[in-house]
Amino acid sequence: MSKGKSFISVKPMPGWLYILRLKSGALYIGATTDLDQRYKDHLSGKGSRTTQLDPAVDLLYSEEFDTFAEARRREAQIKRWSRSKKEALVSGDLTKQKELAKSQK
């Protein structure tokens, strides 16, 4: 009887991309593995230096991903967008997003 190796299957941790509206009206884009806790952290001033100085007032948008790495890639992508394209994403205006994408090429 041969001894086989046993493997523990580790499922990657899911991740979320999120967009907050700050008190100043600015948008804050981030990624996390625990959206509820991260939002609570931002509301309490413990989420980031940015939200300490300019408090979060609303969670506007989020996307769930299979892995945190995918959420971070999406975060990096959206951070490169213009403010108007980010606002179109948040509002769900797909037509405006497409127009803005074409105008930036």
Per-residue pLDDT reduced to its tens digit, 81-103: 999 999 999 998 777 777 777 76
pLDDT, tens digit, 9 for 90 and up, residues 16-50: 999 999 999 999 999 999 999 999 999 999 999 99
The closest alpha carbon to 60, from 90, 25, 88, 40, belongs to 90
Helix (H, G, I), strand (E, B) or coil at 13: coil
The closest alpha carbon to 29, from 13, 43, 12, 16, belongs to 16
Beta bridge partners of 27: 21
Which top CATH class is 15-103?
Answer: alpha beta
pTM above 0.85, yes or no: no
Using DSSP bridges, classify how beta strands 15-22 and 27-32 pair: parallel, antiparallel or unpaired. Answer: antiparallel
